[in-house]
Amino acid sequence: MPSPRFWRRVFCNLYEQLILLGVLAFTFLVPNLIIGIVFGIAIPSWLTFFYLYGVLALYFTWYWRRNGQTLAMQTWRIQLITADGYRPEKKQAFWRYVYGSLWLLPCLAVHAAFPLRGWQIISLLFVVALFLWPLSIYIDRKHRQGLPDRMAGTKLIELPRYPKKEQAPTKA
């Protein structure tokens, strides 16, 4: 099976980010609003970061372990498999998530050098995750596997299109 090309990965990442907006809204906004209204407190930002990191870890590892595909990957016909061609185990899926989140490090370095605020931070995260991180597939031009996959011992493959089912003729 071929490895997904750069633009397929970019569009899959874009769609994944849209889906994650809903996941994060449900798992972050609702509990924070309830805690804020009932107790009148705000959760510290460091705790919020680790909470959201954990929520996303559960999301990705559960989907990758279940069938090797998140919702966006199903739409774009991309699947995560082990080097042997099987679905990843829980530990391998978790480490793939950890390695896949290393793109945060350049963002933290830029933020430390040039203190960013509000939408600047979100824009930086968006651009790095959407465009720069998928460029790591060009380190290994032959197999086109990104850094997280190489480090975790997994690979992304592009699934073939299913032929459209023929429709029965309709009566006039």
For the ranges 18-27, 117-126, 154-163, which has the lowest average pLDDT? 117-126
Task: State percent of the chain over pLDDT 70.
Answer: 95
pLDDT at residue 79 is higher than 60: yes
In the prediction, which pLDDT does 88 show?
96
The pLDDT tens digits of the residues spanning 52-71 come to: 999 999 999 999 999 999 99
When pLDDT is cut at 50, 70 and 90, the band that residue 135 belongs to is: confident
Q: How far is CA 145 from CA 7, 47, 134, 158, in A?
A: 14, 33, 9, 12
Dig out the tokens for 85 from the structure: 């061609």
Greatest mean pLDDT range, 7-11, 43-47, 134-138? 7-11
pLDDT at residue 162 is higher than 90: no
When pLDDT is cut at 50, 70 and 90, the band that residue 167 belongs to is: low
